[in-house]
Amino acid sequence: MASSKQKLKRNDTGAALLVVLLLVATLSVVSVGILQTVTRSVQVASMTGARNQIGWYVSGAETLAAQKIAQLSELTQGSITRFSPGLGQTIAFPIEGGRLMARVDDATNCFNLNSLGRDVEDSETTAAIDAGAFYVDLLEALDLPQSDAQQLMQVAKDWIDADSVQQAFGAENGFYASLSQPRSAANGPIVTPAELLDMRGYTPELYRMIAPYVCARPDETIGVFNINTMDERHAPIMSAVFSGQVGRESMRAIMEAQGDLEFPDVETFLTEPTLAAVAPELRHETLLGTTSKFFRLSGEVVYAEAMTSYEAVFRLGSDNSVQLVRRRIGVDE
């Protein structure tokens, strides 16, 4: 009998020990889980704090850039050139825990994709330049065949214009709804040129080729290009200004030959023999000027052992006021 009681006691002791071990193991797992949760929470809080701080630094850079643009316009009486002080120069600012890099460039010399949404049949715009034809000339200057350029233009126009009437080679909601990942055409202005990637036929490779020459502005004008801030890199744009009558390479040579020249007016610029030889009806002179309306602030913020890129676009008003049009933090296009 005593032996049986001792055996039961040993069994109870073993069971109790097993329970204790299981409890310890469970608590260990729970402790690890709690520790991981707390660690993640701290990391998230730290990252959120860092993002907020970066946002404040970028906001400060935007304020300084807006002041700089207004001062530059006042200093030059609006006649901005590629040699204007402060343009195209990267400046580094030390900040607590890192540094901020900032650069202001003229952002005037690009084709406004939202101009494709303008109704060329509108009685108020019949005298205006056909944005679609201009875009086709630009794409051809980038060595795209005319048929491809025409199709890409119509696709972009269908995406941006307000109606649902499909162009001959375009694409409207019916096409996009049939895709494996359905989407709808914007049927309105786009915010960024990167939206081209959502459109039929615009591959990443094609977008990278087009991106340096296009933009998305909050209006339906093609834009006015500043002859004094353009250089050989803008040859495709300038070729389109002359309806493709001056090829990209010829235009590049003309722009390179300008060297350090600054033109007092568009008329003087147009005296260049090759440009002067183009028929007046094929020269979109109204797209040329000596002032700049848009500017781009770009750079990086190095903070909390991470680097974040940023960009902001400003519009300079006729009264010298500077308005923030668009900002981007942390995502490259």
* DSSP code string of 16-54: HHHHHHHHHHHHHHHHHHHHHHHHHHHHHHHHHHHHHHH
pLDDT in single tens digits along all 333 residues of the chain: 555 545 545 555 555 555 555 555 554 544 444 344 444 444 444 456 778 888 898 999 999 999 999 999 998 888 999 888 888 999 998 988 889 999 999 999 999 999 999 876 553 543 579 999 999 999 999 999 999 999 999 999 989 988 777 777 677 767 787 776 767 777 889 999 999 999 999 999 999 999 999 999 989 999 999 999 999 999 999 999 999 999 999 999 999 988 778 899 999 999 999 999 999 999 999 999 999 999 999 999 998 888 899 999 999 998 999 999 999 998 655
The Cα-based distances of 248 to 111, 142, 232, 236 in angstroms read 16, 8, 9, 5
CA distance 267 to 221: 22
Alpha helices per DSSP H over the chain? 2-76, 131-141, 146-160, 173-177, 204-210, 235-241, 248-258, 266-269, 273-276
What tokens appear for 205 in the block?
């490779």
pLDDT digits 0-9 by tens, 172-182: 767 787 776 76
pLDDT digits 0-9 by tens, 15-56: 555 555 555 555 454 444 434 444 444 444 445 677 888 889
Sequence ranges of the domains in the chain: 44-108+293-329
Identify the CATH homologous superfamily for domain 44-108+293-329. Answer: GSPII I/J protein-like (3.30.1300.30)
Query: How much of the chain, in percent, has pLDDT values that exceed 70?
Result: 80
CA distance 292 to 79: 7
Q: Is the pTM of this model over 0.85?
A: no
